[in-house]
Amino acid sequence: MQEFIVAAQAAFLLQSQCLVCFSLHYGMKKTMNDRTIAEKLELLDSYKTLSHFSQREAAERLGITRGFLQGLLKNEAAIRAAQPFVKGQA
**Number of compact structural domains in the chain:** 1
Torsion over CA: 84, 2, 72, 23 (sign)? positive
The pLDDT of 63-79, averaged and rounded, is 93
- Residue-wise pLDDT tens digits, 43-70: 999 999 998 999 999 999 999 999 999 9
What is the residue range of 48's domain? Answer: 2-89
Contacts of 49 (CB under 8 A, 6+ apart): none
Q: What is the C-alpha to C-alpha distance for residues 47 and 51, in angstroms, rounded to an integer? A: 6
pTM: 0.61
Q: Which residue has better confidence, 72 or 3? A: 72
Structure confidence at residue 29 (pLDDT): 56
- Residue-wise pLDDT tens digits, 10-28: 655 555 544 434 444 444 5
**For residues 19 and 31, is the Cβ–Cβ distance under 8 A?**
no
Q: Is the pLDDT of residue 79 over 50?
A: yes
Q: What is the C-alpha to C-alpha distance for residues 40 and 30, in angstroms, rounded to an integer? A: 12
